Amino acid sequence: ILLIYVPFADIPLSLRALGLKTQDFSKGVFWGVMGWLANVPFLTFLIPIGFFFRWIPSREHPVVTQVAESEAWLPVFLTGSLLAPIAEEIFFRGCLFQGLWVRTRRMVLSLLISGLLFAGMHPQGGMALPGLAWVGIMAGFLTYQTGSLMPAIVMHMLHNTSLLLLLRFLLT
């Protein structure tokens, strides 16, 4: 439904209105790469903090078992590296973060809520919660600063790609 023009409360709702813009594509890619690189020291710091949240139930992400299977590797890699970041960014930064921002006009609150909900929907549980929340917060910040989802999508793609490649390397 988001692929067509949908008027909502006198606001045109479309992928373009949500921030999926192709103008300044190279600028969006640049800021996405910079966001991904900026995440590295923060995630390195947040990984040990995750141990304080290990009491939150967790389960293994289904991708972990699929990455080890040679037949499933390519479809899982493409889905996790390309499709999932696009869909998640359209929902969490395009709809949720920007909707919260429009309603509350409180950027920090909007970033925290959308980042925590983003982290909470992943099955990895408490230990991954701080790192995933940070990735969501950074994606929201990039969206806010640039007015586009492109940097958040690129950052998310690079994040997932690097994790999937690392996981594949460790499991094979």
CB-CB contact of 160 with 39 (8 Å): no
The overall average pLDDT reported for the chain is 85
| φ and ψ at residue 148, rounded to 5 degrees | -140, 150
pLDDT at 4 over 50: no
**Ranges 13-17, 50-54, 151-155: which has the least confidence:** 13-17
Average pLDDT over residues 41-65: 79
Give 70-95 pLDDT, tens digit per residue.
777 888 899 999 999 999 999 999 88
pLDDT at res. 58: 72
Nearest to 46 by CA among 116, 126, 131, 118: 131
pLDDT higher at 171 or 167: 167
Structure token digits, residue 70: 């040679």
% of the chain beyond a pLDDT of 70: 88
Predicted TM-score (pTM) of the model is 0.84
- Tell me the pLDDT band of 3, cut-offs 50, 70 and 90: very low
pLDDT at 23 over 90: no
Structure token digits, residue 154: 């690129």
